[in-house]
Structure 1
């Protein structure tokens, strides 16, 4: 029997403050921190997240985490249990990279299922410095999560600005 689709919730706020089982990090392939959501998660979560990311880089992900893939670490001092790191694609008007963006959401939910997570908070992956247009990013995120075969019960899209919230709201409602 196919599990029911997760409920979708929109929150305007800071993903590092979400009390959920897993927070998804819009990471860069190095897994070693960066700007935006990635930097905020590493700063607030503390050194345990970076230590586990370094261990991943020393092992299976020596060349970095591939775009569209996902992997979990501790959440350190965050109010979540785990951080699921995923690397979104950079937007390109010349090449359709939407399957890679969809993979970020699917793979993050797959990892969440492996962990036993029931509540997962996502940022708007790739819509910041990676330049993905917010409306299209919202569409891909919502459609992918709705179609996912997952045991996650709630997916919370945590959106920093009013524009992002509005874009996601048009797809969720």
Structure 2
């Protein structure tokens, strides 16, 4: 593999579009100098709700631009940088770690009672987190919430991040 094809392969990204969500897999794009080939290492999965029924074309284009920018990032900078500041996102509008974990557990098929036991939180608190995620995702209804949670569980890697653009 020559340098031109190597740099071309490193720029490729894994982006999965569905009705309600975009999943971007960000790989550790390191290069093995001796063998001169692309080495696929660690992976971070970024889930982005993508409900655009009432959005204008300009808003959709801006989201697409941000998604493509996220896909071009390398695994290490993504872990080290404050991603919210980088993309001009307000941190309080992003799901917390707890909310993301609850959504992932919902996608795995756990109900509120199971999640409250797993996370050692009350059912009321878990329900409040679910409502909070729904608002942050743009007011999706319960069915859409479960579809997004299921997609998160199906396409998740060990390291995952839920971003609301």
Quick check: TM above 0.5?
Answer: no
**TM-score between both structures, scaled by the size of structure 1:** 0.26
| Greater radius of gyration (CA) | 2
**TM-score between both structures, scaled by the size of structure 2:** 0.27
**Higher-helix-fraction structure:** 2
